[in-house]
Structures are given as C-alpha cells and as structure tokens.
C-alpha cells in the first residue's frame, strides 16, 4: 500500500520524489523503492520524522505502539501524522504523541494498487483545511476519497477495507463452479473475470440500484431466479452481514491492544 500511495502521489503531482523520505527495516526493499521512484532513504524512523512535515504510517497494527514511542519526542504540532493502520484510532495515536501533531486516519483498500481504490478519511480536531486538502490529494491519486466521522472507521475497514477479499472469494468460487461442471479452467476464468468486471461497471455507471439490476437479470421462473432461491435458502445476506461484523469486531480488538 505504501508503494501504491507513492506511485499515485508521484503520478498526480501531489508528491515530488526529491521531497519524499522512506524508512523500513528491510534494506533491500528500501533500495528497490529508491531506485524505482528516485526518492530518498532515511537512516531510520526518527531521521525521517525529523525532516518530514507529513508522516504516513504504513505498518501493521501490532507494530504501531513501538513506532509511536520511537518518534514521539520528534513529532510536534507543526507536523501531521497520517495513519492507515487498521483499527488504531486517533485517540490512541494522540495519547502516544504527546506533543500534539495534527492526525489524519485513513482506510484505503487493495484496488489502490491499480489506482481504483477508495479511501475513507477522518481527522483529529484542528486539522487545517490546507493540510486535509493536500493529504486528500495524495489518496485521490489511487482512487476515490470519502470523508467520514472517525467513529465509523472500523465499519469502513470491514466493508471497503476487507471488502475486496470477499469479492475475490466470490470470483474464486464461481471459477471453481465452472470447472466443477466441465468448463476448462482458462475459459471459466475468462468468463467470470469479464462477468465480474461488467457487473461492477453496471453497479457504478448504470444509475440503477442493486435491486433493479437483479431484476434486470432474474426473469420470473428463469435460471437466475433458481440460483437466487438457493442463495436465499443459504441465508446469503445474513452470512455477509456476519462476516462484516466479525471483521469490524476484529478492527476494534486491534485498536484496543496495548492502548492502555
């Protein structure tokens, strides 16, 4: 995700390669990114924070507290911290960064890798409009942007953050169903990939609700209706709802760990 944001920001012009410093424990990865994008490598996290006006955390939730403790002394109210760490709230970050930087929390998603993502943005009190506009422009480089109250970030994580994986599971299942009933794998893949692509385009561009689109495909007494009846018997919608609930609950759990 860090590379996706870097690539999108450079392509859109919101980032300039000579102004970007990157820090990572993987030296090979740092040099790979440096060579590819002509950015600068920081010696460590503290070195990066000292020269940065905007600091973007692209790390796993389990490592957030160690990083916050490491940089707290050097992160004052002239700096902005942007976190895409799942489950970790603004209050938890603010508690650690006692010099009170501006804090922005964002949940992007996997299609950002193709500049087709969506990012939900929330802010701490006092974030200036100019800073918010600038950070938004970085994430606009990898897709669409929405602004939400932070209390909804964990449900966003479960919906659009984790959502692509649910979608990929459906794609995988449909491809397997095709091969199960005799179609060659490459043909099944081509059929389903284009079907999914076309359906996504219809959802986004047709102006019709999902219910209307379903009715367009499902003729009374036809094949689609027969399939939808099975989904209904299997309680498909409830299964999706429960899956989202589990993902949301996990986001809350991640946010609470080590917070006290």
Domain contains 109:
yes
Domain contains 236:
yes
Over its length of 260 residues, how does the chain's per-residue pLDDT go in tens digits?
A: 999 999 999 999 999 999 999 999 899 999 999 999 999 999 999 999 999 999 999 998 988 999 999 999 999 999 999 999 999 999 999 999 999 999 999 999 999 999 999 999 999 988 999 999 999 999 999 999 999 999 999 999 999 999 999 999 999 999 999 999 999 999 999 999 999 999 999 999 999 999 999 999 999 999 999 999 999 999 999 999 999 999 999 999 988 865 54
| pLDDT score recorded for residue 258 | 54
Please indicate, yes or no, whether residues 100 and 219 belong to a single structural domain of this protein.
no
Please indicate, yes or no, whether residues 16 and 49 belong to a single structural domain of this protein.
yes
- Domain that includes residue 145, residue range: 2-152
Please indicate, yes or no, whether residues 34 and 75 belong to a single structural domain of this protein.
yes
| pLDDT score recorded for residue 175 | 98
> Of 109, 132, 152, which marks where a domain is finished?
152
Please indicate, yes or no, whether residues 141 and 171 belong to a single structural domain of this protein.
no
Domain contains 75:
yes
Please indicate, yes or no, whether residues 129 and 43 belong to a single structural domain of this protein.
yes
Domain contains 157:
no
CATH no. for residue 230? 1.10.3730.10
Please indicate, yes or no, whether residues 187 and 209 belong to a single structural domain of this protein.
yes
Please indicate, yes or no, whether residues 188 and 125 belong to a single structural domain of this protein.
no
* Beta strands 117-123; 143-147: pairing state: parallel
| pLDDT score recorded for residue 257 | 63
DSSP conformation letters of the chain: -HHHHHHHHHHHTSS-GGG-EE--S-HHHHHHHHHHH--EE-SSHHHHHHH-SEEEE---GGGHHHHHHHHGGG--TTSEEEE--TT--HHHHHHH-TT--EEEEEE--GGGGGT-EEEEEEE-TT--HHHHHHHHHHHHTTEEEEE--GGGHHHHIIIIITHHHHHHHHHHHHHHHHHHTT--HHHHHHHHHHHHHHHHHHHHHS---HHHHHHHH--TTSHHHHHHHHHHHTTHHHHHHHHHHHHHHHHHHHHHTTT-
Please indicate, yes or no, whether residues 104 and 188 belong to a single structural domain of this protein.
no
Please indicate, yes or no, whether residues 135 and 172 belong to a single structural domain of this protein.
no
CB atoms within 10 A of CB 30: 16
Distance between CA atoms of residues 208 and 192, nearest Å? 22
Domain contains 67:
yes
CATH no. for residue 24? 3.40.50.720
| pLDDT score recorded for residue 126 | 86
Please indicate, yes or no, whether residues 172 and 145 belong to a single structural domain of this protein.
no
Specify the pTM. Answer: 0.91
Nearest to 142 by CA among 209, 225, 84: 84
Domain contains 114:
yes
Please indicate, yes or no, whether residues 139 and 181 belong to a single structural domain of this protein.
no
């Amino acid at each position: 995700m860090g590379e996706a944001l870097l690539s999108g920001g450079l392509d859109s012009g919101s980032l300039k390669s000579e102004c970007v410093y990157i820090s990572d424990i993987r030296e090979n990865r740092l040099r790979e990114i440096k060579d590819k994008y002509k950015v600068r490598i920081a010696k460590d996290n503290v070195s990066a924070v000292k020269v940065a006006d905007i600091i973007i955390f692209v790390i796993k939730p389990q490592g957030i507290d160690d990083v916050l403790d490491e940089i707290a002394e050097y992160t004052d109210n002239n700096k902005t911290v942007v976190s895409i760490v799942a489950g970790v709230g603004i209050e938890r970050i603010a508690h650690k960064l006692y010099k009170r930087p501006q804090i922005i929390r964002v949940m992007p998603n996997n299609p950002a890798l193709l500049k087709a993502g969506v990012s939900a943005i929330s802010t701490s009190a006092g974030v200036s409009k100019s800073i918010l506009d600038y950070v938004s422009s970085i994430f606009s480089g990898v897709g669409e942007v929405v602004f939400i109250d932070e209390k909804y970030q964990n449900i966003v994580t479960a919906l659009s953050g984790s959502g692509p994986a649910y979608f990929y599971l459906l794609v995988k299942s449909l491809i397997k169903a095709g091969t199960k009933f005799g179609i060659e794998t490459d043909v099944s893949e081509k059929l389903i990939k284009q079907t999914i692509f076309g359906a996504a385009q219809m959802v986004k561009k047709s102006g019709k609700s999902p219910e209307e689109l379903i009715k367009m495909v499902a003729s009374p007494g036809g094949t689609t209706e027969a399939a939808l009846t099975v989904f209904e018997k299997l309680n498909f919608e409830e299964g999706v709802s429960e899956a989202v609930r589990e993902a949301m609950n996990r986001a809350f759990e991640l946010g609470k760990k080590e917070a006290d």
